[in-house]
C-alpha cells in the first residue's frame, strides 16, 4: 500500500483536474467532454505506461523481481493479444450488450495471464488499478445523476435504444461501473506488466544491499 499511495493520490488529482477542465470548458485538446474523452491529453489512461515501470523497478530493486522478466513481458503481450482478438471477434459475432459485457470480462481475465510470472507486480498493479478506477466509477455515478455534460456521464456515439431508455442507475452500471472495474483494470494490469517487465529485462536492476 505504501508503494501505491502517492501514485494513487496523483491519479485522483488528475481525475479531479480533468473534471474541472471539462466543467469549465477549458481547451478540448486537453479536456474533451465527448464520450470516451476523445483522446484528451489530460487523463489517467496513460499512467500505467509510466507507473508500471516505476512499480517494476522498485520491486526489482527491493529483491522482488521475477524469475524471468522476459517471460512476464511475453505473457503480458499474450494477454493483450487475447483480449484484443476476443474483443474484435465478439464485436462481429455477438454484437450488443451481452457481447460487450463478455468482452469486458475477458479483458479483466486476460490481465491475470502474466500474474504467475511476476505475482508481486501483479498485486501492486491490481491495488493501484482499484485505487484509480473505483473513484472514477463513483464520480461517474454522481455525474450521470447530475447530467453534467462531461465525458464521465455522456452516452457513447450512436447508443443502442436500450441504453438510451435506461434510468441513471442502469446507465451508470453499463457505461460506468462495469467498464471501470473490468476492462480498465485489465488494461492497467497488462500495460503495467508489459512495460514494467521490459524495463527490468533490459536494464537488469540489481537488488539494493538493504
73 occurs within a structural domain: yes
pLDDT tens for 18-28 read 999 999 999 99
33 occurs within a structural domain: no
pLDDT tens for 100-120 read 788 899 999 999 999 999 999
Asked if 163 and 35 count as a contact pair (C-beta separation under 8 A), the reply is no
DSSP annotation string for 70-101? HHHHHHHHHHHHHHHHHHHHHHHHS-SHHHHH
Contacts of 5 by beta carbon, 8 Å cutoff, 6+ apart: none
Domain residues for the domain of 173 are: 46-203
5 occurs within a structural domain: no
pLDDT tens for 124-149 read 999 999 999 999 999 999 999 999 99
**What is the pTM (predicted TM-score) of this model?**
0.93
81 occurs within a structural domain: yes
Domain count, the chain: 1
208 occurs within a structural domain: no
Q: Which residue is associated with the grid cell 487523463?
A: 43
Amino acid at each position: 500500500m505504501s508503494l501505491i499511495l502517492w501514485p494513487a493520490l496523483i491519479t485522483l488529482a488528475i481525475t479531479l483536474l480533468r473534471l474541472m477542465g471539462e466543467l469549465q470548458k477549458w481547451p478540448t485538446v486537453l479536456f474533451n467532454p465527448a464520450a470516451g474523452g476523445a483522446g484528451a491529453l489530460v487523463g489517467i489512461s496513460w499512467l500505467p505506461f509510466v507507473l508500471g515501470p516505476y512499480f517494476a523497478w522498485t520491486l526489482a530493486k527491493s529483491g522482488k523481481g521475477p524469475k524471468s522478466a522476459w517471460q512476464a513481458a511475453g505473457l503480458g503481450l499474450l494477454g493483450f493479444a487475447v483480449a484484443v482478438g476476443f474483443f474484435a471477434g465478439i464485436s462481429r459475432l455477438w454484437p450488443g450488450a451481452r457481447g460487450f459485457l463478455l468482452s469486458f470480462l475477458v479483458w479483466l481475465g486476460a490481465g491475470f495471464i502474466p500474474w504467475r510470472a511476476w505475482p508481486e507486480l501483479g498485486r501492486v498493479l491490481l491495488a493501484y488499478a482499484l485505487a484509480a478506477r473505483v473513484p472514477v466509477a463513483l464520480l461517474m455515478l454522481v455525474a450521470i445523476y447530475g447530467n453534467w455534460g462531461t465525458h464521465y456521464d455522456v452516452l457513447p456515439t450512436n447508443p443502442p435504444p436500450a441504453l438510451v431508455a435506461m434510468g441513471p442507475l442502469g446507465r451508470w452500471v453499463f457505461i460506468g461501473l462495469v467498464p471501470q472495474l473490468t476492462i480498465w483494470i485489465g488494461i492497467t494490469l497488462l500495460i503495467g506488466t508489459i512495460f514494467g517487465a521490459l524495463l527490468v529485462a533490459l536494464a537488469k536492476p540489481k537488488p539494493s544491499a538493504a
